[in-house]
Amino acid sequence: MHTVIIILVFLCTYLGMAAGRLPHLQIDRTGIALLGVIVLLTTQTVTLDQLGANIDVSTLVLLFALMIISAQFASAGFFELAVEWIMRRADSPTMLLALTVVVGGGLSALLANELVVLTMAPLIIVGAQARALDPRPYVIALGGAANAGSAATLIGSPPNILIGQLGELSFRLFLQAGLVPALLGLGSVFAVTWFLWRDRFEAPVPEGGIAEVPRHPHDRAQTWKGLAGMVLLLMLFATPLPRELGGLLIAAALLTNRRFTNRIMISAVDWPLLLLFVCLFAVSGSLADSGIPFSIVSWLQERGMMPDNMLVLAPMSLLMSNTIGNTPATILLLQIWPNPPHGPLYAIAVMNSLAANLTLLGSLATLIAIERAEALGVRLTFTEYARASVPYTLISMLFAMIWLVGTGWVSWLPGGAVPGP
């Protein structure tokens, strides 16, 4: 009976991840995962100790530390400064689109891409409206750039952080695997969005005027402090010190602040995302403890159907990232796949980041961009977004496939020779 309950909770939880919410209720993915954990505990199917054993604390600690670092930049007005720089140098709609992609993607490679989009999207929208431009292509481009840019590094997105921690991947090698696909992905986002919107950038100023959005005044000293912390963190990644401890040291230094209170910094942390990680670790870990996934994995391995080759990896990334979401998909995969090879792990992280661009459901960063736009009266439908996102996602993934196979991270077919990066 315990096994049956675990299977039912797992299936209901991940179906909820795919749906995004429960019908007629204001319960999102985090709430659904939390309900799954509560059912497991209240039915005494698992104990708190058993659930706790399935939670990778090092991943949560590093994710928290990176959120604090991102909060430092947000509180210092760095993102406002970045958007002001874009607006000063963008002398045409095309240049504004290009700079939105470059800056949004570049920042998302090193900072929490959700916070990048959360902060930049309203500012980009207001800036576009002030120039009598339709803000929709810039919202599409910013969301796409956030995911494509995050493919470049081990800390670009929560799934990348998870894969890097559980797989003990090298920051330097990840950069070798992901930088070129990320740059080509950013180029695809710009080229496709520009092509589709090139003749209709202009739009009337909305009735009632341009909305006012909250802005953080720029603090140069605090910006330099954040930059110093980020540089030091990257240096610590090259040492034997565990990444999560290095991140905590930098977070502690930033929290020791005379300008911002701890409450301001800590309130910027995405606590629902951390809770989602905890709950999904618990639910998928409970399924793994039952032994059922390993029988399935063995069956798949015997038939060459594991994602250690591009024939399986690419469609799996597209399907899972755009149904249950790239974060739940990554947690599930790593919980049920024992001892995956390093090469495919690098490739999975890169491909998942790019695949998350396909639809509005692929990543939290995309959803945030759309929600922030809607709050300012700019509505993007699923079809309008997909008209641009589907082609630039498929193009960027094709580039990434060629790069990852050509440089030896994975093979095209099951059992193919992999020379190694």
pLDDT, tens digit (0-9, with 9 covering 90-100), for 169-227: 999 999 999 999 999 999 999 999 999 999 999 887 776 667 788 888 999 999 999 99
pLDDT in tens, 215-270: 889 999 999 999 999 999 999 998 999 999 999 999 999 998 878 778 888 888 89
| pLDDT at site 402 | 97
Positive or negative: CA dihedral 252, 258, 263, 264: negative
Share of the chain above pLDDT 70, in %: 98
Kindly report the pTM of this predicted structure. Answer: 0.92
What is the CB-side half-sphere exposure of residue 419 using CA atoms within 13 A?
6
Cα–Cα distances (Å) from 212 to 120, 122, 125, 355, in that order, read 14, 9, 11, 34
| pLDDT at site 44 | 93
Q: Which of 291, 282, 294 is nearest to 39 (CA)?
A: 282
Q: How confident is the model at residue 66 (pLDDT cuts 50, 70, 90)?
A: very high
* Encoded tokens for 189: 């986002």
* Encoded tokens for 93: 């709609």
Average pLDDT over residues 64-86: 95
**Residue 415 in this model has a pLDDT that exceeds 80:** no
| pLDDT at site 98 | 98
The whole-chain average pLDDT of the chain stands at 91
Residue 148, SS3 per DSSP: helix
**Residue 363 in this model has a pLDDT that exceeds 60:** yes
| pLDDT at site 164 | 94
Average pLDDT over residues 313-335: 90
**Residue 120 in this model has a pLDDT that exceeds 60:** yes
Weakest-pLDDT range from 26-30, 274-278, 407-411: 26-30
Between CA 166 and CA 397 the distance in angstroms is: 24
Helices (H) and strands (E) in the chain, counts: 20, 0
* Encoded tokens for 313: 């990896």
**CB-based burial of residue 26 (10 Å sphere; 0-12 exposed, 13-18 middle, 19+ buried)?**
exposed
Give the helix ranges, DSSP H, for 43-135: 48-53, 57-75, 78-89, 93-108, 113-130
- C-beta neighbour count of 274 within 10 angstroms: 18
Contact between 219 and 259 (Cβ < 8 Å): yes
| pLDDT at site 212 | 80
Weakest-pLDDT range from 83-92, 207-216, 342-351: 207-216
| pLDDT at site 421 | 63
Q: Which of 373, 404, 277, 387 is nearest to 332 (CA)?
A: 277
Residue 408, SS3 per DSSP: coil
Weakest-pLDDT range from 14-18, 48-52, 175-179, 207-211: 207-211
For 356, list phi and psi in degrees, rounded to 5: -65, -10
| pLDDT at site 385 | 94
**Residue 125 in this model has a pLDDT that exceeds 60:** yes
Rg value, the chain, Cα: 21
Average pLDDT over residues 89-103: 97
Between CA 356 and CA 352 the distance in angstroms is: 6
Q: Which of 181, 202, 198, 197 is nearest to 357 (CA)?
A: 181
| pLDDT at site 417 | 55
Between CA 387 and CA 265 the distance in angstroms is: 38
**Residue 326 in this model has a pLDDT that exceeds 90:** no
Q: Which residue is associated with the tokens 């993915």? A: 29
Bridge partner residues of 202 (DSSP): 133
